């Protein structure tokens, strides 16, 4: 049973906070905690405005979010770590090799799909990334029993 799920991207201002919010909502009736962090986080920053707007356009509130940096302690506290790109798996394992076996692509159930960073790519890229994240989150939620 997973108690703590961590979602990881680079800056922790676009993809991982989107996935954190969507997965937390999908697992709302469970006791699973969902958080996010960045490999090169823009610590303390709010979500990127376009990412936040796409969420808000779909009825979600992300105003209270603040980015944070992934650390070995955060990795240790996490039972499942979901990342956006294959290179993120490598980076997490460099930081904490003992995490092998608990780090997976968020897009694992979509044929190991990577979700590219929409940062500075325009609103269409954020909408596309959101759709991929939403699809992946639904698959994880189903497999986690929700």
Catalytic residue ranges:
9, 15, 117
Rounded-to-integer distance, Cα 28 and Cα 32, Å: 8
Q: Are strands 4-9 and 33-38 parallel, antiparallel or unpaired?
A: parallel
112 Cβ neighbours under 8 A, 6+ residues apart: 86, 105
Give yes or no for a contact between 134 and 142, defined as CB atoms under 8 angstroms apart: no
Residue from 9, 77, 73 nearest 40 by CA: 9
Cβ atoms of residues 130 and 18 within 8 Å: yes
**How many other CB atoms are there within 10 angstroms of residue 102's CB atom?**
17
Give the rounded distance of the alpha carbon of 104 from its chain centre. 11
């Amino acid at each position: 049973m997973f108690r703590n799920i961590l979602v990881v991207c680079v800056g922790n201002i676009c993809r991982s906070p989107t996935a954190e919010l969507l997965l937390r909502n999908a697992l709302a009736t469970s006791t699973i905690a969902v958080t996010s962090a960045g490999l090169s986080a823009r610590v303390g920053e709010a979500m990127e405005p376009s990412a936040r707007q796409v969420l808000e356009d779909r009825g979600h509130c992300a105003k209270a979010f603040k980015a944070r940096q992934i650390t070995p302690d955060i990795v240790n506290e996490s039972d499942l770590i979901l990342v956006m790109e294959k290179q993120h798996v490598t980076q997490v394992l460099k930081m904490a090799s003992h995490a092998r076996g608990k780090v997976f692509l968020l897009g694992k159930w979509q044929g190991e799909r990577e979700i590219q960073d929409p940062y500075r790519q325009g609103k269409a890229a954020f909408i596309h990334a959101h759709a991929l994240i939403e699809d992946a989150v639904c698959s994880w939620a189903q497999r986690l029993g929700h």
